[in-house]
Structure 1
Amino acid sequence: MVLIYWALRSNDPQDEMELALSDEPGLRIKHIDGYGLPEEPEKNVAGAALLALMEEYENKNIGFDLTINKIIKPGSGLGSSAASSAGAVVGANHLLNNVFSKQDLVRFAMNGEKVASGVKHADNITPCIYGGVTLIRSIFPLDIVQLSPPHLYVTVIHPQIEVKTSDARQILRKEVLAERCH
């Protein structure tokens, strides 16, 4: 079993996920938060990411049990779906003795972002998996560059409103989306 916490410091927003290998093939998800998120793997961002990983894993009889406590509020604009998608595949890879590369993990986690927004994108999951500041030059094929950032201080002020990623992406001009997806 592996426990995964995504946070900058212990008192910052974080998601808590408990992932364990199972003798029973397949994926079972349980939420212990109050957000009413789907527990069906293909409808859950962490589930979609794990299903993609499981599809490529050599042992097709692999099984996982995942318990999620969402502390980063869905729709908050703080990367809630990325935290779940990235956390699930990083934890699974750890349990499988790190058989997949970071680039593979980003590719798997992009399936979770597709559930959240309707489009595979890597802008939030890549820094979760690689750490630091990253540049995604392309997602097809996946081309990630780690950057050396200057010393930064970041402040997040949250207005406590919910904006779904899929809705926010509708605001972008079609030309911007087309360039971004190629």
Structure 2
Amino acid sequence: MQNNEFIKAYAPATVANVCCGFDVLGFALDQPGDEVWARKTEQPGITITAIHGIDGLSSDPTENVIGVVAHKMLTDLHITHGLEMQLHKGMPVGSGLGSSAASSAAAAFAVNELLGKPFTTQALVLYAMEGEKKASGSAHADNVAPSLLGGFVLVRDYSPLDVVPLGVPLDLYCTILYPQIELKTSLSRSILKQEIPLKKGITQWGNLAGFMAGLLMKDYALLGRSLHDEIFEPERSILIPLFHQVKAAALAAGALGAGISGSGPSIFALSATLAQAQAVQEAMEKVYAHSGIDTKTYVSQVPDQGVRLVEQSLLQPAQA
């Protein structure tokens, strides 16, 4: 590959936890998402030459997740040449939609393509987790794995990492309402109790198993019955204005289930059809209409594909 050839990759937002699957379950969205541009350079080191779509992110490659991911990949391959990178943020930070995960996943995929695909897509999960560790202090996989692999993904274990792609066995559409307040993952985690009652744990495990069975059996009703968080939602929901009203509105409009996306503040709802998801979107928006809080909403089919190549060219990419 010539030194002036560049790769541009797109990685989608994700919903993690999915009510009953705290820290072990996530799924991909079609949009929003992030793009990362990468090109080889003769001089060693990584340079981030542009960040589009958001203010306040560092261009220092040791502080930005795309630089951290790329550096780890180059180091492990003993590569001495450098990289020039750019980042286009298509989603806000602290939204609960896997913002840092999308950047990390796009970076891992773009660098892998640029270097001739030395790593499998599943191996890239480990590199993208380095970005998550930089962003949040915890190398978790429930956002980066679905962003890379698409569909639903179960993180069975971390020692060693065991990621189980579940695909999308049945049609599902996700409605996302993002109240434009920033909610740090660290704050959402800080309020969680470190121990749970056995009775609640059993209920939660049953819901997670029920959700898995609902996917495999293509049983929408079972999915809906299982989309319930017995443990963490009651604590986290107090940080999200109008959460319970929005969830009730989504269910009344026909959603299979609804809950907190990741650490919040975004709220997700799953539906069986696009028309239903759009009706849920309208119902959720009405709750916030007179709240004084700006919102963004997205409707996305849950896709089979996650990260993907957007462009490969000898020309400089168009500026956002």
> Which category of TM-score, normalised to the shorter sequence, fits these structures?
0.7 to 0.9
CA RMSD of aligned residues (A): 1.7
Pairing 1:35–2:40 present? no
Could you tell me which of 137, 156, 174 is aligned with 1:154?
A: 174
State the 1:34 CA deviation.
Answer: 3.5
Pairing 1:170–2:205 present? no
1:111 is matched with which residue?
Answer: 130
8 Å Cα contact 2:38/2:111 also seen in 1: yes
Could you tell me which of 95, 119, 122 is aligned with 1:76?
A: 95
Could you tell me which of 54, 57, 68 is aligned with 2:74?
A: 54
Aligned residue for 1:52, secondary structure, equals helix
State the 1:175 CA deviation.
Answer: 4.7
1:180 is matched with which residue?
Answer: none
8 Å Cα contact 1:135/1:145 also seen in 2: yes
8 Å Cα contact 1:116/1:165 also seen in 2: no
Aligned residue for 2:177, secondary structure, equals coil
Give the structure-1-normalised TM-score: 0.87
Unaligned stretches of 5+ residues in structure 1: 177-182
State the 1:124 CA deviation.
Answer: 0.3
Tell me, in whole angstroms, the C-alpha distance in 1 between the residues paired with 2:72 and 2:186. 21
Aligned residue for 1:100, secondary structure, equals coil
Pairing 1:97–2:116 present? yes
Unaligned stretches of 5+ residues in structure 2: 1-5, 13-28, 197-320
Alignment of 1:6-17 (within 5 A): 6-7=11-12, 12-17=31-36
Q: Which moved more, 1:105-114 or 1:50-59?
A: 50-59
Tell me, in whole angstroms, the C-alpha distance in 1 between the residues paired with 2:178 and 2:150. 23
Tell me, in whole angstroms, the C-alpha distance in 2 between the residues paired with 1:114 and 1:175. 24
Pairing 1:19–2:38 present? yes
Figure out how many residues of one structure are paired with residues of the other and give that number. Answer: 173
Tell me, in whole angstroms, the C-alpha distance in 1 between the residues paired with 2:109 and 2:51. 19
AA partner of residue 112 (structure 1): G
Pairing 1:44–2:57 present? no
TM-superposition CA deviations, 1:40-64 (whole Å, max 9, x none): 11211111111211111132x0311
Q: Relative to structure 1, is the Cα distance of residues 66 and 74 closer, same or farther in structure 2, using a 3 angstrom cutoff?
A: same
Tell me, in whole angstroms, the C-alpha distance in 2 between the residues paired with 1:95 and 1:81. 21
AA partner of residue 2 (structure 1): I
AA partner of residue 115 (structure 2): L
Identity %: 42
Tell me, in whole angstroms, the C-alpha distance in 1 between the residues paired with 2:179 and 2:119. 38
- Point out 4+ residue stretches in structure 1 off by more than 4 angstroms: none
State the 1:106 CA deviation.
Answer: 0.7
Q: Relative to structure 1, is the Cα distance of residues 175 and 140 closer, same or farther in structure 2, using a 3 angstrom cutoff?
A: farther
| Structure number, greater radius of gyration | 2
Aligned residue for 1:13, secondary structure, equals strand
State the 1:114 CA deviation.
Answer: 0.8
Tell me, in whole angstroms, the C-alpha distance in 2 between the residues paired with 1:66 and 1:156. 30
Tell me, in whole angstroms, the C-alpha distance in 1 between the residues paired with 2:195 and 2:154. 20
1:122 is matched with which residue?
Answer: 141
Give the structure-2-normalised TM-score: 0.51
AA partner of residue 190 (structure 2): Q
Aligned residue for 1:135, secondary structure, equals strand
State the 1:170 CA deviation.
Answer: 2.2
Tell me, in whole angstroms, the C-alpha distance in 1 between the residues paired with 2:191 and 2:55. 25
